[in-house]
Amino acid sequence: MNSLEQKKIRAIAGILPIRLYGSNETVEISGEDLLFAGTKEVEGKEVIAEKVYYMKSPVYREENHYRRMKRAFISQGSKGVEKYIKVFMKTPEQAEVIIKVLLP
């Protein structure tokens, strides 16, 4: 992937609408914070203020369109980027305009 292709993909990434994705991450919570929030027990055991607890929590982030299109380009070439664009644009006409203007 040369620098011109990277610039084109970065420009397309700036045009695509923002989309969030969710995942579960392990977060570190102090016992003091749990007690302050009103949690008395964790997994059947009493919460200790000085202890650190690890809990799964849902996290939402913006998709990194540039990174995903770059991976699509590396694996499938410009056809992979075209497929990615078509998924995110509201109408096929919008996708075709972007593809004609920005992709070779």
pLDDT reported for residue 95 = 80
pLDDT reported for residue 104 = 60
pTM of the model: 0.67
Rounded distance, CA 57 to CA 14, Å? 29
pLDDT per position as a tens digit, 46-86 = 999 999 999 898 999 999 999 999 999 999 988 898 888 88
pLDDT per position as a tens digit, 14-40 = 888 888 999 999 999 999 999 999 988
Rounded distance, CA 54 to CA 67, Å? 30
Phi, psi of 90 (to 5 degrees): -70, -40
74 CB-contact burial (10 Å; exposed 0-12 / middle 13-18 / buried 19+): exposed
Rounded distance, CA 72 to CA 12, Å? 13
pLDDT reported for residue 17 = 87
